[in-house]
Structure 1
Amino acid sequence: MGEVVNVLVAFAVIVFLFRWVTSSSESGERSPADTLGFRPKNITQDMINTISNMFPDIPTDNVRYDLLRTGSVELTTNKILERGFLDAPPPAYYTLYPREPTSSSTTHRSSNNANTNGGPTPKAPQETLITRYHLEDRVLNAEPAVEESVVGGKAVWEESSEKREASLRERKAQMILAARQRMLAQQEAKS
């Protein structure tokens, strides 16, 4: 009986030594579980995109880190809804998942369906307020200067919603044109 115990203890010591020697001789790299302090769950880019689309103000690294911990879109979403934020990942996280440039992550989110061939996306011209509110004809006709007191002036309450909407649209147009005139005047003053 004593010999069996000695053999078992010797076998356990040999196994322990073998594991210790082989784990320390591996190129010095730590496993993701050792680096992060927990065993990361398997996640997909679709899971990250789902949460990033629902909560665009939450950084992608925070989303990925929480998904690695929970492995569930629902749990991460509930945490955001309850707390309003996700914890930032520790510095060790960035050794495994280096930071992405912010411009590429926002470009990827906004044009994930537009560009499927993987090539560079052509940059669209930036939309101005003049084009958004269709004021090109007023700018081309060079309307007379609008007085500052009239621009943000008090609106009269109209009896129908259509008239109120038209009045609001006209006040927005006047404010945009007045701001453009101020900008042009400042540019002329500089030059």
Structure 2
Amino acid sequence: MGEVINVVVAFAVIVFLFRWLTTSNDSSSERSAADTLGFRPKPVSQDMIDTISNMFPDIPPDNIRYDLLRTGSVELSSNKILERGFLDPPPPAYFTLYPRDPNAEQVARPAAGGAASTAIKAPKQSLIDRYNLQQRVTQPGPLIEEDQSGGKAAWEDSAEKREASLKERKAQMILAARQRMLAQQQKDAAS
């Protein structure tokens, strides 16, 4: 009878030591994250979040991170979005571990080439700058009518001519929109 008690005590000590050794390998932050979220979070990189954000810009980044913490896979999260059209929002406990960044709008998403994820977003580039229309803005020209800004173009024979025609129509639309905006601002300032 005494031997049975010794075996049971030895077995209990071995089980206790085994559990203690296997759980001590986890860091306390991982354990607290698992306790808070209710599952063991998978490692998620900013590149993974950016990949899904670039494919689905209408999905909030917190929803993407939360789903990636659960799945650990860009493919599974992407398939979930394609099948359902959305990702579940994270529970309130998620925000204790991953608080929302108040400067999130100022942080630029890195390009596919792998730019730094903490880069500050450059000032928004105007359409005038993007399409190199500075000279056409500074030169006084005739007012562009609504029906002249864009519209249909005749089909050109070569791809170069079609491209040039498209660029010109874009420029006319941008300049017409700028004229309308300036007229609206003058009207608002006068009243």
Q: Which TM-score bucket, shorter chain as reference?
A: 0.5 to 0.7
In the other structure, the counterpart of 1:96 is 97
Tell me how far 1:143 sits from its aligned partner: 0.8
Identity %: 68
Tell me how far 1:158 sits from its aligned partner: 3.0
Q: Give the TM-score of the pair, scaled to structure 1.
A: 0.66
The answer to whether structure 1 residue 182 and structure 2 residue 183 are counterparts is: no
Partners of 2:152 and 2:75 lie apart in 1 by 48
Q: Where does structure 2 lack aligned partners over 5 or more consecutive residues?
A: 13-30
Partners of 1:107 and 1:159 lie apart in 2 by 41
In the other structure, the counterpart of 2:71 is 70
Tell me how far 1:142 sits from its aligned partner: 0.7
Residues 144 and 81 (structure 1), Cα distance of their counterparts in 2 relative to 1, 3 Å cut? same
Greater Cα radius of gyration, structure 1 or 2:
1
Residue identity opposite 1:139 in structure 2? V
For 1:87, what is the secondary structure of its paired residue?
coil
In the other structure, the counterpart of 1:48 is 49
Q: Where does structure 1 lack aligned partners over 5 or more consecutive residues?
A: 13-29
RMSD: 3.7
Asked if the contact 2:110–2:116 (Cα under 8 Å) also holds between the matched residues in 1, the reply is: no
1:112-169 deviations in whole A, cap 9, x for unaligned? 95559x7x74x63432222222222222221111233323444333333333332222
Partners of 2:160 and 2:177 lie apart in 1 by 26
For 2:108, what is the secondary structure of its paired residue?
helix
Residue identity opposite 2:37 in structure 1? L
Q: Give the TM-score of the pair, scaled to structure 2.
A: 0.66
Tell me how far 1:40 sits from its aligned partner: 2.5
Task: Point out 4+ residue stretches in structure 1 off by more than 6 angstroms.
Answer: none
1:51-76 deviations in whole A, cap 9, x for unaligned? 44444433222222222222333332
The number of equivalent residue pairs is: 170
Higher mean displacement: 88-97 or 44-53: 44-53
Partners of 1:75 and 1:115 lie apart in 2 by 25
Residues 135 and 108 (structure 1), Cα distance of their counterparts in 2 relative to 1, 3 Å cut? closer
Asked if the contact 1:52–1:58 (Cα under 8 Å) also holds between the matched residues in 2, the reply is: yes
